[in-house]
Structure 1
Amino acid sequence: MRLSQKARMNRMFTHGGCLDVALDHGVCNEPGFLKGLENMESVVSTLIEARPDAIQMAYGQADLLQSRPEKDKPALVMRIDMGNPYNDQRHRVMWSALQNHDEPIIGALEMDAACVVVNLFMLPDEPDLFHQCVKNISRVRAACHTYGMPLMIEPLVMLPNDVRGGYQVDGDAEKIITLVRLASEMGADIIKADPTADPEDFHRVVETARVPVLVRGGGKEDLKTVLRKSAALMAQGAKGMVYGRNIYQHDNPKAVVNALMAMIHHGASGDEAWDIYNRG
């Protein structure tokens, strides 16, 4: 890894772990994702005060973080692609595209991002969508190498739309491991992976990746359940989490951040993290 890549990753992985709070949901064009993100300036201010390791945003909102003067504010992780697999109805044409095809990471360089993130979608009967993602990653990987930018790849294995309706993750360990291996082979510096249906299988995802693995959060769940599941995944070798709705849609995002940071950086158990959350 080049020194510039290592320096950027050090801004995310403080003391070896990372809590990346995802606020990049506006690019998904899904109304339900935006609950809690109506006032982005307020959300970013709350999170800067809460002090996670990183905040994940798209170019058009990144100024709300990077214009702030705090020296110890969270690192910026920039989402540089978008697509339509997140909606509750399957589209006639499924697509994924880079936000800037010709210079895919120029916005991240402009905004002094610590990392960029792109999707690797695997949907049933959607080979063209998968192919688009592979092409996107290939283009981004080359740009990241040129400019020393770490690349986070987000492999997403999804269930058929008619199983549960809309954007739903397939927790099959074999499918996740296979797609994580592809992301690793394509040159990921960080992998954002879905949890396996059985958390005890997640060590296999970590071993396959050979780079730091951050657990993807998905939809909002009962917080005590989230904390216990997160602790189990950390015990399997995850280096942290990329959580969005389980933080920003919560009544007290700062308390949730405190609980997760204690888990990532101080080895708190799920029950200990729950106690930390309740202390506010």
Structure 2
Amino acid sequence: MTAGHLARLTRISTNDRYLIVPMDHGITMGAVTGLKDIESTIDAVTRGGADAVLTQKGIAPRVHPNKNDAGYIVHVNASTTIGPDENDKRMTSTVKEAIKAGADAVSLHINVGSNYEPKQIEDLATLTAEAGDYGIPVLAMAYARGPGIDGDEPEKLGHAVRLAEELGSDVVKTGYSGDGESFTHVCESTRLPVVIAGGSKGTDEETVRMVRGAMDGGAAGVSMGRSIFQHDDPEAITRAVSAVVHDDQTVEDALRAAGLTIEA
């Protein structure tokens, strides 16, 4: 690992823990709640403790003035919910373009088990090779998704994260298996830092409890989008998640510290 590569990893993390807020959903879902005024959302989540934000390359001019010195990750493939198949992620950027956009790292989504897995494996392998030439870290968003696949099954998630390591990624994001005990298998399947996806927005307690379970199972943090950027108070929910990821707080203490309601 080069000095530049290591330096960039530290820009998207804090003490080897990761709180990333992806906001690339505009290309996938359109300008949904939280993304129309993405400048305000970026400002809020980074004030709340996000280590890095993630977007497609074209949003970079809206990111840099508002990210409060947090790290920046450019996502390099995409699909849409109105297209023929959302699992069919196509390349949208190169590493060189991401660097021009001011990225500290790049990320790529791969659906392990889908009909598009072979091409996405090639894309990730190509990306890690290109990123290595520039000392740019790679976040692999490796999900277990495809015909007949249970995307929450620990064995399948473990396979997905191991694939990311085998192809030269630096950090891997995947789904959550539902509890810390089963997620231990996922984290033990790789030496990479594992971060969990957030999925659709739940209650504050559900969100923070999921983070607590993942951390107890060995996760290195989270990469949570809608659960954070669609919250009524993105800064507050980010503070609660940060309290668990970075300060190892309990669910109740994290919610209380962020000024969020603890459910009865």
TM-score (norm 1): 0.86
C-alpha spacing 1:94/1:10, structure 2 compared with 1 (3 Å) = closer
**1:143 aligned partner:** 130
Whole-angstrom distance in 2 between the partners of 1:270 and 1:93: 34
Report if the CA contact (8 A) 1:259-1:273 is conserved: yes
C-alpha displacement of 1:115: 1.2
Whole-angstrom distance in 1 between the partners of 2:25 and 2:238: 18
Aligned match for 1:91, one of 77, 84, 88: 84
Segment of structure 1 superposing worse, 37-46 or 203-212: 37-46
**1:25 aligned partner:** 25
Counterparts of 1:1-280 in structure 2 under 5 Å?
A: 1-28=1-28, 30-31=29-30, 34-68=32-66, 72-84=68-80, 87=81, 91=84, 95-100=88-93, 104-123=94-113, 126-127=114-115, 129-158=116-145, 160=147, 170-278=151-259
**Runs of 5+ consecutive residues of structure 2 not aligned to the other structure:** none
- Would you say how many aligned residue pairs link Structure 1 and Structure 2? 261
C-alpha displacement of 1:97: 1.4
**Runs of 5+ consecutive residues of structure 1 not aligned to the other structure:** none
Give CA deviations for 1:35-91 in whole Å, capped at 9, x if unaligned: 2212122222323433411111111112222245x7x5210011111124xx3x783
**SS at 1:10 equivalent:** helix
Superposed CA RMSD in Å reads 2.3
C-alpha spacing 1:227/1:93, structure 2 compared with 1 (3 Å) = closer
Report if the CA contact (8 A) 1:66-1:111 is conserved: no
After superposing on structure 2, the runs of 4+ consecutive aligned residues of structure 1 that deviate more than 6 Å are: none
C-alpha spacing 1:94/1:79, structure 2 compared with 1 (3 Å) = closer
C-alpha spacing 1:39/1:230, structure 2 compared with 1 (3 Å) = same
Report if the CA contact (8 A) 2:111-2:144 is conserved: yes
Whole-angstrom distance in 1 between the partners of 2:250 and 2:91: 38
AA aligned opposite 1:53 = D
Whole-angstrom distance in 1 between the partners of 2:236 and 2:206: 15
Segment of structure 1 superposing worse, 242-251 or 202-211: 202-211
Whole-angstrom distance in 2 between the partners of 1:210 and 1:157: 18
Report if the CA contact (8 A) 1:255-1:276 is conserved: no
C-alpha spacing 1:37/1:268, structure 2 compared with 1 (3 Å) = same
C-alpha spacing 1:243/1:93, structure 2 compared with 1 (3 Å) = closer
Whole-angstrom distance in 1 between the partners of 2:174 and 2:218: 12
Give CA deviations for 1:148-207 in whole Å, capped at 9, x if unaligned: 0001111111365xx9xxxx9720111111121111111110001111133311122112
C-alpha displacement of 1:246: 0.8
C-alpha spacing 1:190/1:130, structure 2 compared with 1 (3 Å) = same
